[in-house]
Amino acid sequence: MNLLIFIGKRIFHAIFVILGLAIVIFAVARIMPGDPVRLAVGSRAPQWVVDNMREQMHLNDPIPVQFGYWLRDAAQGDFGISLVTRRNVAEDVREFFPATLELALFALTISLTGALLLGTIAARHKDKWIDNIIRIFSYLGIVTPSFVFAIIFILIFAFALDWLPAIGRLSNGVEPPPRVTGFYTIDSLLIGDLATFWDAIRHLILPALALAMASMAQEARITRSSMADNLTKDYIASARALGVSEGLIMRRFLLKPSLIPTVSIVGMDFAAGLGNAFLVELIFNWPGLSRYGMNAMLSKDLNAISAVILSFGIVFVLVNLLVDILVARLDPRISLSAGGGS
């Protein structure tokens, strides 16, 4: 029950944040120097076209009314026409978003798995040489920009060793699977096409790894320190004294409480990953929403920029919502305090 109240509050909060974000985006788009109509129709269009367009885009109305129109359209997924692709922005978002989400989720899987593994090893061998090596690795992971990792990985694994492809989502000549989710890995599995599945995975590894490095390092450090902390707690000592096996202590008593700090920063790390995807997709020529957004930004395509930012904002808010719920489940104190008033 308490958990439900907690979830309800978080959902309400998420809706509020998304609305607020819409206001900010609208404000920025209106503040931007330059006439959106001129940008849309080009500099040689006659004046009557511009006037008609102004009326059509409701630009002669007061700002709050304009916002009303904008919000109504945005809620229906209508962000207008992209100045670059000349297509409906919403269509572009639908087309390109799955590629970015697939990449980001794959990166998240890599970083969490790696972090838990490294963190656990480091905590169990605290202050031994292996702990020090993992610590150095973590530092390097945190301080190296993702675009540098991207370049290094391409040089090593694509150029020098020729193990993995460096560009795109599929090899030349491989047909994308029929679209169901837009995730090539899942869609190819759905039709049982293992060759395409394998090709998609191979294309995912390098960009996902470049994205995952920073969060893996960060999460590994946090897992290590919380595990090392919990290892010195009395309840672990008493479990040992009672003869509980080391493996059972790890799985039953240590992992869950130690996961809380790690899980609670996953949302932040995912956000950083989505941000870094803007550079990584550019480098790997990954046809995702980040590369689309990057190109929109470089050509000042305002409709597309608004849609991309709002899309990322919504995904990020949803991820944070999930993380909050997950943490509340792991740590009953949180949902209890939320249900108890305040």
Partner 1 sequence: MGVEMTSAVQATQLTAEDIARLRRESRRENWGRAWYKFSRNPLSLIGAGTIIFVVCLAIFAPWIAPYPEHVKPFTDFANASQPPSSQHWFGTDEIGRDILSRVIYGYRFSLTMGVTVLAIVVPIGVVLGLVAGYFQHRWPDTLIMRTTDIFLAVPPLILALAIASILEPNLFNAMIAVSLTWWPWYTRLVYSITTGLRNEFFVTASQVTGASTSHIIFREILPNCVSPIFTKMSLDMGWVIIIGASLSFVGLGVQPPKPGLGTMVASGTRYLPDDWWISAFPALAIVVVVLGFNLLGDGLRDLFAAEDG
Is position 21 an interface residue for partner 1 (rule: CB under 8 A)? yes
Q: Figure out which of the listed residues 151, 180, 191, 248 binds partner 1, where binding follows CB under 8 A.
A: 151
Torsion of CA 247, 248, 254, 259, to 10 degrees: 90
The residues with which 81 forms a beta bridge, in sequence order, are 88
Q: Figure out which of the listed residues 2, 3, 7, 17 binds partner 1, where binding follows CB under 8 A.
A: 17
Is position 93 an interface residue for partner 1 (rule: CB under 8 A)? no
Distance set, CA 71 to CA 82, 134, 170, 293, 337 (Å): 17, 48, 37, 20, 35
Cβ neighbour number for residue 115 with a 10 Å cutoff: 26
Task: Report yes or no: 299 and 306 within 8 Å, Cβ to Cβ.
Answer: no
Of 240, 251, 229, 213, the C-alpha closest to 115 is 213
CA separation for the pair 199, 196 (Å, rounded): 5
Is position 13 an interface residue for partner 1 (rule: CB under 8 A)? yes
Is position 160 an interface residue for partner 1 (rule: CB under 8 A)? yes
Q: Figure out which of the listed residues 28, 49, 248, 336 binds partner 1, where binding follows CB under 8 A.
A: 28
Shortest reach from residue 279's CB to partner 1, in Å = 6
| Piece of 11-19, 60-68, 205-213, 241-249 that binds partner 1 (CB under 8 A) | 11-19
Shortest reach from residue 217's CB to partner 1, in Å = 11
What's the one-letter identity of residue 313? G
Is position 147 an interface residue for partner 1 (rule: CB under 8 A)? yes
SS3 category, 88: strand
How big is the site for partner 1, counted in residues (CB under 8 A)? Answer: 43
Q: Which residues contact 10 (CB under 8 A, 6 or more apart)?
A: 321, 324, 325
Residue 8 or 176: which CB sits closer to partner 1?
A: 8
| Piece of 47-55, 87-95, 136-144, 189-197 that binds partner 1 (CB under 8 A) | 136-144
Residue 21 or 236: which CB sits closer to partner 1?
A: 21
Is position 195 an interface residue for partner 1 (rule: CB under 8 A)? no
Q: Figure out which of the listed residues 27, 140, 248, 336 binds partner 1, where binding follows CB under 8 A.
A: 140
Could you tell me the maximum CA-CA distance found in the chain, to the nearest angstrom? 87
CA separation for the pair 38, 262 (Å, rounded): 49
Shortest reach from residue 40's CB to partner 1, in Å = 16
| Piece of 115-123, 223-231, 238-246, 306-314 that binds partner 1 (CB under 8 A) | 306-314
Is position 24 an interface residue for partner 1 (rule: CB under 8 A)? yes
CA separation for the pair 247, 113 (Å, rounded): 18
Q: ∠ at Cα 216 (322, 202), nearest 5°? A: 95
Residue 90 or 279: which CB sits closer to partner 1?
A: 279
Tell me which residues in 232-271 interact with partner 1 (CB under 8 A): 271
Tokens 């991309």 -> residue:
308
Is position 176 an interface residue for partner 1 (rule: CB under 8 A)? no
Is position 104 an interface residue for partner 1 (rule: CB under 8 A)? no
Is position 163 an interface residue for partner 1 (rule: CB under 8 A)? no
Distance set, CA 12 to CA 23, 321, 322 (Å): 17, 10, 13
Q: Figure out which of the listed residues 3, 186, 265, 297 binds partner 1, where binding follows CB under 8 A.
A: 297
CA separation for the pair 161, 159 (Å, rounded): 6
What's the one-letter identity of residue 300? K
Q: Figure out which of the listed residues 189, 231, 294, 322 binds partner 1, where binding follows CB under 8 A.
A: 294
Q: Considering Cα of 32, then 35, then 41, then 44, what sign does the dihedral take?
A: negative
Q: Give the interface with partner 1 as residue ranges (CB under 8 A).
A: 13, 16-18, 20-21, 23-24, 28, 32, 139-140, 142-145, 147-148, 151, 155, 159-160, 271-272, 274-276, 278-279, 282-283, 293-294, 297-298, 300, 302, 305, 309, 312-313, 316-317
